[in-house]
């Protein structure tokens, strides 16, 4: 029977094998963010031009994510997974040797196509390899790849670019990719339902659905990634891409909903567990990627940290995540997973609220401790949601489940980063106006401050006139820093409030004990 299938090799060996490539892909994405200034300088490009190194990868990856389930069903999951690993590895070599920015962007597009299929394939492999009772522990291993890698990436990226050069952030993928290919070929196998679907999958291709999802998701990702840089709807190009994304994705939903063999099975969202889980994965992506971007950005822009030193603030949080992933994985079978998710959300909200205390005087140790406290609750959200994804859904749909849930998390990450970046920029302007209103030239506090600063500068050998002018400039710089600090505090507060409001939602989901029984949604999914 399909339900009794078990792999020939040790499930934990398979879990570590497929986690290897996913960890490599997520780690490389965060490393590339840190190395961007070095890449721009080396290739003679501006900072804005160099951001296409990130945008091209994100767009390519986002296009592949939602259709990876269909590709796995059609060509075989193991074959698709190995193809993705091979593409990622080969394109990493091309990225490392790229002599110009256009060639690097082209190689990154290919790399994104390979990287986009890794995480959903791994999640589907784990779901089929492990029985329901042990999925929590299996997804803990998976969680280390998609949650811990962004925390480690900035530190490793800063160290590599400072001590070697940016080419090595791509070359380090090669031995890992080759090892992953060898282990996958030896250990991973497709279960009977996947082999059956790929054997009978040589039917007509839904080219319309494929074109709509590729173009729609590509336009959406471009809109989210470039929106703040181009002043959102103030730029005609951004307006055009927003309109195209809206129209194409609406057409895609309508077409796929009525298609007998869709590229993306959107009707799975009618399943109560899966529909709720996709929404929660979307929010998880916003929090995970948003906080991972905001904290090092705050440290570098306002406290003057280098990329490597900012990474050292995040890295201990990665170690905490590894420990808590194991704790959450073992707790899953002994506790209501819906309650775990709620507790996790409350813990994450408390950690984010604590970050509203960040100031311009926050020490390295304090920032590191607060980051560690902020991530403690994430595993209690990630692992139960990943497990509840599959409750009441046919096992033959595991590829579709994993691709849609990973797409939701990545889309949440892109949307969260874009929205938070815009929020910080706009609120900083508001705070700057409010703070400036309290500065009254000629008042006693203002005069005392200016006399103190100009006096120190005059002592250093600067003329009285120059010291006075420099004191005004220094005061303005402090005003901007304090306005930015307040905007970051506001961003963490908004995240905390948003997360705590979601705490009751997991109780809409069914418990895993019903996984073996057909649910109304499962029948409808057929």
Task: Give one DSSP letter per residue of 323-377, joined into a string.
Answer: HHHHHHHHHGGGS-HHHHHHHHHHHHHHHHHHGGG--TT--HHHHHHHHHHHHTT
Mean pLDDT of 293-303: 81
The tokens for 152 are 């480690």
What 3-state class would DSSP assign to 172? coil
- Worst-scoring range by mean pLDDT, 81-85, 204-208, 214-218, 480-484? 204-208
- Is residue 452 a part of any domain in this protein? yes
pLDDT value at 516 more than 50: no
Q: Given pLDDT bands bounded at 50, 70 and 90, which one contains residue 490?
A: very high
Those residues with Cβ within 8 angstroms of residue 468's Cβ, 6 or more apart along the chain or in another chain: 450, 454
- Is residue 490 a part of any domain in this protein? yes
State whether 442 and 372 are in the same domain.
yes
State whether 169 and 287 are in the same domain.
no
Alpha carbon 351 to its chain centroid, in Å, reads 19
pLDDT value at 459 more than 80: no
State whether 448 and 483 are in the same domain.
yes
Of the two residues 108 and 412, the one the predictor is more confident about is 108
- Is residue 266 a part of any domain in this protein? no
What is the structure's pLDDT at 238? Answer: 86
What is the structure's pLDDT at 139? Answer: 76
Q: Given pLDDT bands bounded at 50, 70 and 90, which one contains residue 318?
A: confident
What is the structure's pLDDT at 86? Answer: 92
Give the tens place of pLDDT for each residue, 224-277: 877 777 778 878 888 888 899 889 889 988 888 887 777 777 887 787 777 888
What is the structure's pLDDT at 519? Answer: 43
What is the structure's pLDDT at 493? Answer: 92
Mean pLDDT of 294-317: 80
What 3-state class would DSSP assign to 99? coil
How many domains are contained in the chain? Answer: 3
State whether 71 and 132 are in the same domain.
yes
Q: Given pLDDT bands bounded at 50, 70 and 90, which one contains residue 486?
A: very high
* pTM of the shown model: 0.76
What is the structure's pLDDT at 521? Answer: 40
Percent with pLDDT over 70 in the chain: 90
pLDDT value at 517 more than 50: no
- Is residue 475 a part of any domain in this protein? yes
State whether 303 and 170 are in the same domain.
no
Give the tens place of pLDDT for each residue, 91-145: 999 988 888 888 888 998 899 888 888 878 887 888 778 777 777 777 777 777 7
Residue from 409, 290, 272 nearest 338 by CA: 272
State whether 53 and 178 are in the same domain.
yes
State whether 110 and 233 are in the same domain.
no
**Alpha-helix residue ranges (DSSP H) falling in 44-100:** 47-50, 52-75, 77-97
Mean pLDDT of the chain: 79
**Domain CATH number, residue 368:** 1.20.1250.20
- Is residue 140 a part of any domain in this protein? yes
Q: Give me the domain span that covers residue 298.
A: 276-526
Mean pLDDT of 432-444: 77
Mean pLDDT of 289-314: 79
481 near 360, Cβ under 8 Å? yes
- Is residue 504 a part of any domain in this protein? yes
Mean pLDDT of 47-59: 75
State whether 39 and 180 are in the same domain.
yes
Give the tens place of pLDDT for each residue, 13-37: 888 888 888 888 878 777 777 777 7
- Is residue 265 a part of any domain in this protein? no
Give the tens place of pLDDT for each residue, 324-364: 888 887 887 778 888 888 898 899 889 889 989 988 888 89
Mean pLDDT of 68-90: 85
Residue from 32, 27, 492 nearest 307 by CA: 32
DSSP character for 130?
S
Q: Given pLDDT bands bounded at 50, 70 and 90, which one contains residue 52?
A: confident
State whether 377 and 287 are in the same domain.
yes
Q: Given pLDDT bands bounded at 50, 70 and 90, which one contains residue 522?
A: very low
State whether 285 and 220 are in the same domain.
no
Burial 84-112 (b: 16+ CB within 10 A, else e): bbebbbbbbebbbebeebeebbbbbbbbb
pLDDT value at 90 more than 90: yes
Distance separating alpha carbons of residues 293 and 21, to the nearest angstrom: 23
- Is residue 483 a part of any domain in this protein? yes
State whether 252 and 352 are in the same domain.
no
The H-or-E segment that residue 11 falls in is helix 11-43
6 near 23, Cβ under 8 Å? no
pLDDT value at 390 more than 90: no
**What single string gives the DSSP state of each residue in 416-444?**
HHHHHHHHHHHHHHHHHHHHHTT--TTSH
Most confident of 141-145, 175-179, 217-221: 175-179
């Amino acid at each position: 029977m399909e339900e009794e299938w078990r792999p020939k090799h040790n499930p934990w060996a398979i879990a570590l094998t497929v986690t290897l490539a996913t960890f490599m892909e997520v780690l490389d994405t965060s490393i590339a963010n840190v190395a961007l200034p070095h890449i721009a300088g080396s290739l003679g490009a501006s900072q804005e031009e160099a951001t296409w190194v990130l945008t091209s990868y994100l767009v390519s990856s986002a296009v592949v994510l939602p259709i990876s389930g269909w590709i796995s069903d059609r060509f075989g999951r193991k074959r698709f997974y190995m193809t993705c690993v091979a593409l990622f590895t080969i394109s990493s070599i091309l990225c490392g040797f790229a002599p110009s920015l256009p060639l690097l962007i082209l190689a990154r597009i290919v790399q994104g196509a390979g990287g986009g299929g890794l995480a959903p394939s791994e999640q589907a492999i784990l779901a089929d390899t492990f029985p329901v009772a042990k999925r929590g522990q299996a997804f803990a291993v998976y969680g280390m790849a998609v949650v811990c890698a962004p925390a480690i990436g900035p530190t490793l990226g800063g160290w590599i670019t400072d001590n070697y050069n940016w080419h090595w952030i791509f070359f380090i993928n090669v031995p890992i990719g080759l090892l992953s290919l060898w282990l996958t070929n030896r250990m991973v196998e497709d279960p009977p339902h996947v082999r059956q679907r790929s054997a009978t999958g040589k039917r007509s291709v839904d080219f319309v659905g494929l074109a709509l999802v590729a173009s729609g998701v590509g336009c959406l990702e471009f809109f989210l990634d470039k929106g703040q840089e181009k002043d959102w709807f103030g730029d005609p190009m951004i307006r055009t891409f927003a309109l195209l994304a809206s129209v194409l994705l609406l057409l895609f939903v309508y077409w796929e909903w009525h298609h007998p063999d869709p590229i993306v099975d959107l009707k799975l969202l009618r399943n109560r567990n899966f529909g709720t889980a996709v929404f929660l994965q979307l929010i998880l992506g916003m929090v995970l990627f948003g906080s991972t971007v905001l904290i090092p950005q705050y440290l570098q822009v306002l406290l003057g940290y280098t990329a490597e030193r900012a990474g050292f603030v995040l890295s201990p949080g990665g170690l905490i995540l590894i420990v808590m992933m194991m704790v959450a994985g073992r707790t899953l079978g002994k506790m209501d997973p819906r309650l775990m998710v709620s507790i996790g959300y409350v813990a994450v909200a408390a950690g984010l609220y604590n970050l509203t205390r960040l100031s311009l005087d926050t020490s390295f140790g304090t920032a590191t401790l607060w980051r560690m406290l902020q991530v403690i609750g994430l595993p209690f959200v990630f692992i139960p949601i990943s497990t509840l994804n599959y409750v009441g859904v046919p096992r033959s749909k595991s590829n579709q489940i994993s691709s849609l849930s990973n797409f939701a998390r990545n889309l949440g990450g892109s949307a969260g980063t874009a929205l938070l970046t815009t929020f910080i920029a706009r609120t900083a302007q508001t705070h700057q106006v409010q703070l400036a209103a309290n500065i009254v030239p000629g008042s006693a506090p203002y005069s005392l401050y200016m006399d103190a600063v100009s006096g120190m500068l005059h002592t250093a050998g600067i003329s009285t006139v120059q010291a006075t002018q420099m004191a005004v400039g220094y005061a303005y710089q402090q005003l901007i820093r304090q306005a930015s600090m307040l905007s970051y505090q506001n961003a963490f507060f908004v995240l905390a409030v948003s997360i705590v409001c979601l705490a009751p939602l997991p109780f809409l989901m069914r418990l895993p004990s019903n996984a073996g029984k057909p649910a109304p949604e499962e029948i409808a999914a057929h």
